Amino acid sequence: MNDSDSSAQNGLTRRELLGLLGAGALAALLPAGLPGQAHAANNADFDTAKGPGLIFVVGDGMPAGVVRAMHEVRTGVFGRANTALHARLRDPRSALGLMATASLSSIVTDSAPASAAWSTGVHTANRHLAALPDGRPLTTIFELVRKRGVATGLVTTTRVTHATPAAWISHQTNRDLEDDIASEILAFRPEVLLGGGFRHFSAAKRKDGRDLLAEFQRSGCDTVTDRAGLLAATAAAKPLVGLFSASHLAYNLDRLNDPALSAQPTLPEMTAQALRRLAKNPNGFLLQVEAGRIDHACHSNDAWSSIMDTVELDDTLAVIDSFLAVNPKTLVIVTSDHGNSGWGINGTGSSYNDATAALRSYRAGKASFEAIIRRLKGKNAQQTQDILTESTGFAIGLDEAEMVLAAMEPGYGGFTGDYVYQPDATIGLLLARNAKAKDGKAGLRRGNVGFTSTNHTAEDQTLLAYGHRARELNLARLLDNTELFDTMCAYFGLRHTNPRMAQDEAARLLLATRQDADPRLHIA
């Protein structure tokens, strides 16, 4: 299926959608409605599943502020009556709580131990997957449910070897060993594996020269490497592996604007195909779906990209609603592994009355900071000004372009140590300041999303559960992230307790092995 004749949302082709984006109309056409509504033909038409299901949806590094901004953009800018996420948040049948996220080694977690807390029920140290700091492996929920014949799946917009999906399979103590993680994924062979990270499965890129994708094929898996292949895949009972980019998939904003990225599927498309495949299993399924690039956009202080990747998460929840409409024995859990960057919509103007317009002004953006910065390499100040103005939709001054170029230089020290992603944070700051008027005075406000850093943050995260047995599982409260492992075990009728490590023991071990443990935490 090519780009021009592909079946797209609301009867429009992807090319037509791309043409509408510049007019700010695209998001109004994407599938996100109320629970139970029918959605686009290529995302609906689900058959009845053969067993119960659990869909665990992760907005990686998804602050509460970006969720509110996504809802405002879809309803206030693009005219939607509601969003799929807010419809579920407001539904009295849903269970709504908060979740603590600290790891064994820090009040601020990274994604590896955060996801391992879900998959194992145990706190481990930052950068560790399903393993304690002394190397002891922790049994994961995927390993447990497989013994019951339950099918497993991972869908992500990041590399499939990245921390959040990897922690449900891998027992590495270093999340960066992604070639090794890929080998573990092959050995486990989930029934569905969809996302990026082809380079960790490629003989040309791996140090050991193994072609893991070919090994998946020889083991009986269907393998696809582009959107057309994914959409053409039938809902067979065979495992499905799809790797659509060497690294992460592109941001939603860039995939919508750049026809060169049309071979990459959307998160809703991957989720729909995963559900069709997993629903064939008579013993049920457990699927993790990750909107992983929300986190990356927040790290970059890129407000519009983070909003648009949250829009894609909302589209995915709409697809899941279509699945639930014919498969009510499905539980859905939606949460985030941690906060990120202090993402906040700041009150602006007299009595804050300019705040809504300032937030909505980000809609002019046509490219992520990631895509913009690639274009800036080797450019002078005038060229940088032109690229920034064209890509963000805001008039950028020549002096501001020079600020961005300075931030691209090695050793740039214009920000405190909390703004380590540069020139990303500088661009983010420029897009949230007043433009200069011709008389030199402050002109109209640009955007108004402010960031406290480019780092993860420690605030508790929203926890939403709906669907089958959602109100029975005691989730409408403040709970620890490790408790979701017990929730999933209870849902599938399992009981398991992994070994644990005390915080002081972990601190001593990490300090002794020089794994970035703060000596102030050492307990004698």
Beta-carbon count within 10 A of 41 CB: 12
Q: Can you list the alpha helix ranges (DSSP code H) found in 169-302?
A: 178-188, 212-218, 227-232, 252-257, 267-278, 293-299
Q: Is 295 annotated as a binding residue?
A: yes
Q: Is 505 annotated as a binding residue?
A: no
User: In three state form, how does the secondary structure of 59-70 look?
Assistant: ECCCCHHHHHHH
Segment holding 358, helix H or strand E: helix 355-360
Q: Is 225 annotated as a binding residue?
A: no
Distance between CA 159 and CA 180 in Å, rounded? Answer: 13
Q: Is 518 annotated as a binding residue?
A: no
Q: Is 299 annotated as a binding residue?
A: yes
Q: Is 120 annotated as a binding residue?
A: no
Distance between CA 361 and CA 372 in Å, rounded? Answer: 18
Q: At what angle do helices 381-392 and 398-407 cross, to 10 degrees?
A: 100
User: In three state form, how does the secondary structure of 469-524 look?
Assistant: CHHHCCCCCEEECCHHHHHHHHHCCCCCCCCCCCHHHHHHHHHHCCCCCCHHHCCC
Distance between CA 393 and CA 390 in Å, rounded? Answer: 6
Q: Is 290 annotated as a binding residue?
A: yes
Question: What's the first-to-final CA gap in the chain, in angstroms?
Answer: 64
Q: Is 418 annotated as a binding residue?
A: no
Amino acid at 36: G
| Phi and psi based region of residue 271 (left: phi greater than 0; alpha: psi -120 to 50; beta: remaining) | alpha
Close Cβ partners of 439 (under 8 Å, ≥ 6 residues apart): none
Considering only the C-alpha atoms of the chain, give the largest distance between any 2 of them, rounded to a whole number of Å: 72
Cβ 432 vs Cβ 446: under 8 Å: yes
* CA distance readout (Å), 265 to 243, 273, 458, 461: 10, 11, 32, 28
Half-sphere exposure of 331 (CA within 13 A, CB side): 24
Q: Is 211 annotated as a binding residue?
A: no
Distance between CA 449 and CA 492 in Å, rounded? Answer: 42
Catalytic site residues?
A: 111
* CA distance readout (Å), 390 to 159, 192, 366, 393, 450: 30, 40, 8, 6, 22
DSSP tag of 74: I
| Phi and psi based region of residue 9 (left: phi greater than 0; alpha: psi -120 to 50; beta: remaining) | beta
Q: Return the beta strands (E) in 341-477 as ranges.
A: 344-345, 434-436, 442-445, 449-450, 456-457, 461-467
Annotated binding site: 60, 162, 164, 290, 295, 299, 337-338, 456
Annotated binding site for Mg(2+): 60, 162, 164, 290
